[in-house]
Amino acid sequence: MSGLLNLSGVSVHFSGLKALTDVSFSANAGEVTALIGPNGAGKTTLFNVVSGYVQPTAGEIHFKGEAIQGLTPHEVSEKGVRRTFQNGGLFGDMTVLENILTGLHVQINSNFWGLLFGTRKADEAERAAAARARRLLALMDMDGFADQQVKSLSGGQQRMVEIVRTIATEPPLLLLDEPAVGLSPPMRARMMEVIKRLAGEEGISILLIEHAIDLVMAGSDRIIVLNSGQKIAEGKPAEIRENREVLEAYLGYA
């Protein structure tokens, strides 16, 4: 395997329960890879394994050629793997822009004394971070909300803010857990358009769990299908759409 992320023979067993069994696949830079399957298929477990929240019973996980199984979630994140959760941790009393900047602060190239005394370099770094945050909000058609408190936004709008905050850190690998939850149809379509554009233009590898099959088919480069903890299919959207085993296991008909 030669992808940015490579899973080889990954299995996860919980007290006899086989959550994942011998799962192997790659996720490439510049592509959107969707992970689909019925409830209980092992999708969230796979995300937990990649991000370090669960350790595999067997198998290997390589990111940029380096084994990452056994690392803590913090260590995995430091390697460049970022993840969103279905219920993100936004700060309700802060503005949208301030929330995004909390995700960017570790990338601002200025030291403590520069921030404290307002050196030119620190000011320039802060302005650059704010400009990037506003640009990403504009891509999501959210630029008009930059100075509003997060708690005043709808659930779908807050979801968009969480995604923008994660994308703003420019991670090599981004894990999106059901990004379309709570979004209106126009916002879902816009979000997927931006995700695909970011993957292609900035070379980010995006791995997403999504139940909205129309979004998966329209916005993914490749699709991995899980059922009962095993990979049953992998391919381009057109190939998955015609796969008989997928139709039976995931869509419920042949």
Residue type, 251: L
pLDDT in tens, 13-24: 998 899 999 999
Given a contact cutoff of 8 angstroms between Cβ atoms, the answer to whether 196 and 147 are in contact is no
Tokens standing for 218? 């329209």
What are the angstrom distances between the C-alpha of 153 and each of 112, 146, 148, 159, 164?
33, 11, 8, 10, 15
Tell me the sheet residues that pair with 26.
6
**Short-list 27, 4, 32, CA closest to 197:** 32
| Domains of the chain, residue spans | 1-80+171-254, 90-169
Please tell me the CATH code under which domain 1-80+171-254 is placed. 3.40.50.300
- Cα 130 to chain centroid distance, Å, stands at 22
Instruction: Write out the chain's pLDDT in tens, 254 residues.
Output: 568 999 999 999 998 899 999 999 999 999 999 999 988 899 999 999 999 999 999 999 999 999 999 999 999 998 999 988 666 678 899 999 998 888 675 555 445 445 555 566 667 777 888 888 888 888 777 889 999 999 999 887 888 888 888 888 888 999 998 888 777 888 888 888 888 888 887 788 999 998 888 889 989 999 999 999 999 999 999 999 888 888 877 655 54
